[in-house]
Amino acid sequence: MKLLTLIVVFSLAATLLPAQEPSSPVNLNVTPGSLTLEVGNTSTLSALVTDANGQSIDDAAVVYYSRARRSVGVNPTGRVEAYRPGEFVIVALVPTDPEASPRRAEPILQVEIPVTIPNPPISDISFQKTQGSFYAETTVPLAVQVQDTSGVQRHDVEVNFTTSDESIAEVNRFGHLHLRSIGEVTVTATAEAATTAVSIIVSPNPASTLELTSTVDEAATGDVVRFSTTIKDSTGQVVNDMPVQYAVFGESDASIIASGASAQIARDGRFVAERSGRYTIISTVGTRAVRRILDVTPRDVTRRIEVVGHGPVRDRHTSDLWVWEGPDGRDYAITGTWGADGHAYIWDVTDPAHMSIIDVVRVDARTVNDVKISEDGRVAVISREGASNRRNGIVLLDVSDPLNGVSVISRYDDQLTGGVHNVFLYKNHVFALSGGRRYDIINIEDATQPTRIGRFELDTPGHGVHDIWVEDGIAYSSNWTDGIVAVDVGGGDAGGSLQRPVQLGRAAVHPSGWNHAAFPYRSQSTGKFYLFGGDEAFPYGDETFTEGQPERAAGWIHVYDWEDWENPKEVARYQVPEAGTHNIWIENDILYVAYYNGGLRVVDISGELMGDLYQQGREIAFWEAFDPEGFVKNAPMAWGPQPHKGHIFLADHNSGLWAVRLQSKEPGPTRNLGEPR
């Protein structure tokens, strides 16, 4: 009996003891503390969380993320994989909310693990485009292709050139082969342990006379002028295979204060000037030279922008927009929202001076990043990210009669649960990004029953995709480090289709992997096919959109001549200092750029394009959306532009929807920068 009583008392005492407080983490130790990995190799990090007594907290949540996830990846278990060479950082943290996204989680503890990925060794080097004939007293630029053991073409490797007989030919440190006299010589190129050689025969120089001609004698800044050199021998016969070197010097217009005479001329004789003035172009063949003068006037394209109307959205961030004419003949717009609670707004913009929200659609999402409208103006597709049930996907809306209400037709999230950032609508098919890795092609001919029929994904290490634009049966996807990829989905010559996409070509945009958006365009004035690729980067600090804090982006528009799928050539750029691009639109030889903190930019892209379009004075106008009551006050953050019926509609991230209009060209010369209005 006494024993029983003791047992009961002991049990009661155990029950009445206070609950043990969970230990608080005070230290996070990750091993190894740094990593060095070859491209393609993996390693696994191990994390230990301890309390104030040094005791391990086994159930503490540790999450990982990479600050350069397209160069080095890390999964939730800490497995790290090396994709591309460089110096990078993996972050391990104990979050206050284990359900939060690792990049946005508030850390209790945080550790940075440096990761070094060395360049793979060079495996092959080869000469490219070696010309057939070589002549004494001329200079030939040497070109080589260098490849490493991972199969990547390298442009960051020092190449050393030598010749077997410097009395016949020698090479300078820039890879220029100077042919001194006739004879046979071997040229050798070396990169690390790889080497290659080519033998050439140097013939006597036949040039006797030179003639330099140009397509015009006067031009405006930004105009591409083509110079051509005719070479004749002593008998008057034309020699077609001799190398020509061009140079330019000049004096800028005296009215332009303290500016240099800036111009460039390519090896093939294409010339463009950024400043007005008088330029002398020199053509050299061996020891002979000829010159020609060209007068360049200012490009007179500047116009003013008039604000027509504002549809304010001040309680949350605005994302993308689409403007269209409805079946009833009225004009409508749809805008998304970012980092909020899943709203999409439907606007009546028939009178841009009095835009109004006529309906609101709310879906289960944190962000409705992208919005698109079908060709017939009856169906809208909106993207979803951050859904509470993590299913995300897309939502199709009936917008055939917006004045009487917009309704949900269907939702589609099969294999799109990772989030859909951007979409495109083409011939009743939705191109939907899946988790930033690939795009799926979804048939919505019956919008109540969407059906996946195809998909496209790169197979490169650490690949990703951000945006897509489809035109004439070709899909142009923006793939960050992998650049812009052109894919035949029914309009190319590779036999592709919506069901079976086939890659046509790829243009690498920025070496840091900033490729964000692309727009294909065939010039109305020249017929040339260009691809405009935009960067997106936030290199000046915190890369998240922090509430109440203005941001500053970086990046520019790259212009490619892409007549040949296998050989895209970057020929021009448009760059605004200390700002960065977001979405773009092109119509009637005018480029409209939402230049983030640089506002809306309107650019003349008529004629052939070459060089720096900003410096050439091709900017027609710019406008910034300052709103003292904006979500971030007086902080322009242009997100997306679209011209429509004589107006330019602009979604601004911090202040909503705007309508502006280009005023007529004022008579007289272009206003100099810095001149009072």
CB atoms within 10 A of CB 9: 10
Residue 13 has pLDDT above 50, yes or no: no
Q: Are residues 382 and 482 in the same domain?
A: yes
Task: Give pLDDT tens digits for 473-488.
Answer: 999 999 998 999 999 9
Per-residue pLDDT, averaged over 8-19, amounts to 40
In a domain? residue 14: no
Residue 670 has pLDDT above 70, yes or no: no
Q: Are residues 255 and 283 in the same domain?
A: yes
Q: Are the C-beta atoms of residues 262 and 277 closer than 8 Å to each other?
A: no
Residue 542 pLDDT class (50, 70, 90 cuts): low
Q: Which of 297, 324, 351 is the last residue of a domain?
A: 297
Q: The dihedral of CA 540, 541, 543, 549: what is its sign?
A: negative
- Secondary structure (3-state) at 15: helix
Strand (E) or helix (H) holding 12: helix 2-16
Confidence (pLDDT) at 250: 84
Residue 1 has pLDDT above 60, yes or no: no
Q: Are residues 448 and 466 in the same domain?
A: yes
Residue 3 pLDDT class (50, 70, 90 cuts): very low
Confidence (pLDDT) at 151: 83
Structural domains of the chain, count: 4
Q: Are residues 96 and 223 in the same domain?
A: no
Q: Are residues 143 and 160 in the same domain?
A: yes
Per-residue pLDDT, averaged over 329-350, amounts to 97
Confidence (pLDDT) at 69: 84
Which position has the token pair 């991230």?
Answer: 653
Confidence (pLDDT) at 668: 62
In a domain? residue 667: no
Confidence (pLDDT) at 466: 95
Confidence (pLDDT) at 583: 97
In a domain? residue 158: yes
Per-residue pLDDT, averaged over 104-126, amounts to 91
Confidence (pLDDT) at 622: 97
In a domain? residue 16: no
Task: Give pLDDT tens digits for 300-335.
Answer: 999 999 999 999 999 999 999 999 999 999 999 999
Whole-number average pLDDT of the chain: 91
Residue 672 has pLDDT above 90, yes or no: no
Confidence (pLDDT) at 74: 94
Q: Please compute, for residue 205, the number of CA atoms within 13 A of its CA located in the half-sphere on the CB side.
A: 18
Encoded tokens for 67: 């600050």
Residue 252 has pLDDT above 90, yes or no: no
Residue 674 has pLDDT above 50, yes or no: no
**β-pairing, 569-574 with 611-612?**
parallel
Residue closest to 382 by CA, chosen among 437, 434, 343: 343
Which position has the token pair 């970012």?
Answer: 338
Q: Are residues 44 and 126 in the same domain?
A: no
Confidence (pLDDT) at 675: 33
Residue 256 has pLDDT above 70, yes or no: no
Residue 509 has pLDDT above 70, yes or no: no
Q: How far apart are CA 163 and CA 142, in angstroms?
A: 12
Going by the DSSP 8-state scheme, the letter that residue 543 receives in this structure is -
Confidence (pLDDT) at 89: 95
In a domain? residue 669: no
CA distances from 52 to 17, 27, 56 (A): 23, 8, 10
Residue closest to 616 by CA, chosen among 595, 634, 594, 591: 591
Where helices occur in 58-216 by DSSP H, the ranges are none
In a domain? residue 2: no
Q: Are residues 596 and 502 in the same domain?
A: yes
CA distances from 198 to 161, 186, 509, 513 (A): 11, 6, 32, 35
579-581-584-590 Cα dihedral, nearest 10 degrees: 40
| Helix, strand, coil percent content, the chain, rounded in steps of 5 | 5, 50, 50
The structure's pTM equals 0.88
- Secondary structure (3-state) at 103: helix
Task: Give pLDDT tens digits for 156-169.
Answer: 899 999 999 999 99
Q: How far apart are CA 225 and CA 271, in angstroms?
A: 5
Q: Are residues 377 and 230 in the same domain?
A: no
What CATH number should be reported for the domain holding residue 53?
2.60.40.1080
In a domain? residue 672: no
Q: Are residues 473 and 545 in the same domain?
A: yes
Residue type at 547 in one-letter notation: E
Task: Give pLDDT tens digits for 355-365.
Answer: 999 999 999 99
Instruction: List the single range of 418-427, 505-514, 592-601 with lowest mean pLDDT.
Output: 505-514
Task: Give pLDDT tens digits for 611-642.
Answer: 999 999 999 999 999 999 999 999 999 999 99
Residue 666 pLDDT class (50, 70, 90 cuts): confident
Per-residue pLDDT, averaged over 139-145, amounts to 93
Q: Which of 101, 117, 133 is the last residue of a domain?
A: 117
Confidence (pLDDT) at 129: 72
Residue 251 pLDDT class (50, 70, 90 cuts): confident
Residue type at 332 in one-letter notation: Y
Residue 262 has pLDDT above 90, yes or no: no
In a domain? residue 655: yes
**β-pairing, 107-117 with 35-36?**
parallel
Residue 20 pLDDT class (50, 70, 90 cuts): very low
Task: Give pLDDT tens digits for 60-114.
Answer: 899 999 988 888 999 999 999 999 899 999 999 998 877 666 766 788 899 999 9
Q: Range of 184's domain? A: 122-203
Q: Are residues 112 and 127 in the same domain?
A: no
Q: How far apart are CA 665 and CA 144, in angstroms?
A: 49
Q: How far apart are CA 207 and CA 140, in angstroms?
A: 16
Q: Are residues 473 and 578 in the same domain?
A: yes
Per-residue pLDDT, averaged over 232-260, amounts to 83
Residue 671 pLDDT class (50, 70, 90 cuts): very low
Check residues 620 and 25 and name the one with the higher pLDDT.
620
Instruction: List the single range of 54-58, 280-284, 400-404, 649-653 with lowest mean pLDDT.
Output: 54-58
Confidence (pLDDT) at 247: 95
Q: Are the C-beta atoms of residues 321 and 334 closer than 8 Å to each other?
A: yes
Q: Which of 75, 96, 117 is the last residue of a domain?
A: 117
**β-pairing, 134-135 with 194-203?**
parallel
Instruction: List the single range of 40-54, 127-141, 663-677 with lowest mean pLDDT.
Output: 663-677
Q: Are the C-beta atoms of residues 224 and 272 closer than 8 Å to each other?
A: yes
Confidence (pLDDT) at 303: 96
Q: Are residues 190 and 268 in the same domain?
A: no
What CATH number should be reported for the domain holding residue 371?
2.130.10.10
Where helices occur in 496-620 by DSSP H, the ranges are none
Where helices occur in 535-664 by DSSP H, the ranges are none
Q: How far apart are CA 266 and CA 278, in angstroms?
A: 18
Residue 545 has pLDDT above 60, yes or no: no
